[in-house]
């Protein structure tokens, strides 16, 4: 046991010092205004799928605030793989829309909503989200045309719910299918240092409900918090002015 500890500790200390030295050397470069904005403060992302509809739509371009949760290995391009943990770390809140690297494939960025934090018990029952054995408050809204959200025929209607988390975060979700494949799940207990993420388009989202594809997401995989839509184009390439400036 003593030999193992003596072997690990110097390596961890060395890695920490290497990370600090690299960050110090990068300061003069990153302080230039364009690079400061792009690599330190905000990062732009485009939305390629409908998993977060109706909040985020295909063709939306969003800004993710990197400083919201601190800086880690996935905060900067080409960051060394030995960097561990986050500098200035802060955990997300219920309802935050976050960009993160997939725990199953760290080359892929995902955008989802945080619905579970360390120690929480999460479950879906007949399409309703339960947090720590209590149903998350939701109110039925008027059905609307599903468009591409449900992958069905043109004119198909989709159920909508306004969901409100215990901290007051409120947003609209889509419910394409009654008792769909992931509408009834086991109880997921979120481990320390992780969060549980769902898409707002509940029947068409690859998220933490699917263990083999995503599962619980490590906090260290966070890239940033989605703050607003800064550009939006429809399928014809036309500008959607009504979506610009909306907060995620």
pLDDT digits (tens, 9 = 90+) for 158-198: 999 999 999 999 999 999 999 888 999 999 999 999 999 99
Average pLDDT over residues 61-79: 83
> Tokens in use for 107?
């080359």
Which tokens sit at 222? Answer: 């966070």
More confident residue, 66 or 38: 66
pLDDT band at residue 86, thresholds of 50, 70 and 90? confident
Neighbouring C-beta atoms of residue 179, cutoff 10 Å: 9
In the block, residue with structure tokens 């901290």:
167
The answer to whether residue 112 is catalytic is yes
Q: Which of 196, 200, 198 is nearest to 219 (CA)?
A: 196
Catalytic residue among 66, 75, 112, 225: 112
Query: Residue 107 has what pLDDT?
Result: 87
Spatial distance between the Cα atoms of 84 and 13, rounded to a whole number of angstroms = 11
Whole-number pLDDT of residue 73: 80
Query: In the prediction, which pLDDT does 35 show?
Result: 53
Counting every residue written for the chain, the total comes to 248
Across 128-135, average pLDDT: 98
For residue 2, what pLDDT is reported? Answer: 25
Helix (H, G, I), strand (E, B) or coil at 6: helix
> Can you list the positions of beta strands (E) in 4-59?
42-46
């Amino acid at each position: 046991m003593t030999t193992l500890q003596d072997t690990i500790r110097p390596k961890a200390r060395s890695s920490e010092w290497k990370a600090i030295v690299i960050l110090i050397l990068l300061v003069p470069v990153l302080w230039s205004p364009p690079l400061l904005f792009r690599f330190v403060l905000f990062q732009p992302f485009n939305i390629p799928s409908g998993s977060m509809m109706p909040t985020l739509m295909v063709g939306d371009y969003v800004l993710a605030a990197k400083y919201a949760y601190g800086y880690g290995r996935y905060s900067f391009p080409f960051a060394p793989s030995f960097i561990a943990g986050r500098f200035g770390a802060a955990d997300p809140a219920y309802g935050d829309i976050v960009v993160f690297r997939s725990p199953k494939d760290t080359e892929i960025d995902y955008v989802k909503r945080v619905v579970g934090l360390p120690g929480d018990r999460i479950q879906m029952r007949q399409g309703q989200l339960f947090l720590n054995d209590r149903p998350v408050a939701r109110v039925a809204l008027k059905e609307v045309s599903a468009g591409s959200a449900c992958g069905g025929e043109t004119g198909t209607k989709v159920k909508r719910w306004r969901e409100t988390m215990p901290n007051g975060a409120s947003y609209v979700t889509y419910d394409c299918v009654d008792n769909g494949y992931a509408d009834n799940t086991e109880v997921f207990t979120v481990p320390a240092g992780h969060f549980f993420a769902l898409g707002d388009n509940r029947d068409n989202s690859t998220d933490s409900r699917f263990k083999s594809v995503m599962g619980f997401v490590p906090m260290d995989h966070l890239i940033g918090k989605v703050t607003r839509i800064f550009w939006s184009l429809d399928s014809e390439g036309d500008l959607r002015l009504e979506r610009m400036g909306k907060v995620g």
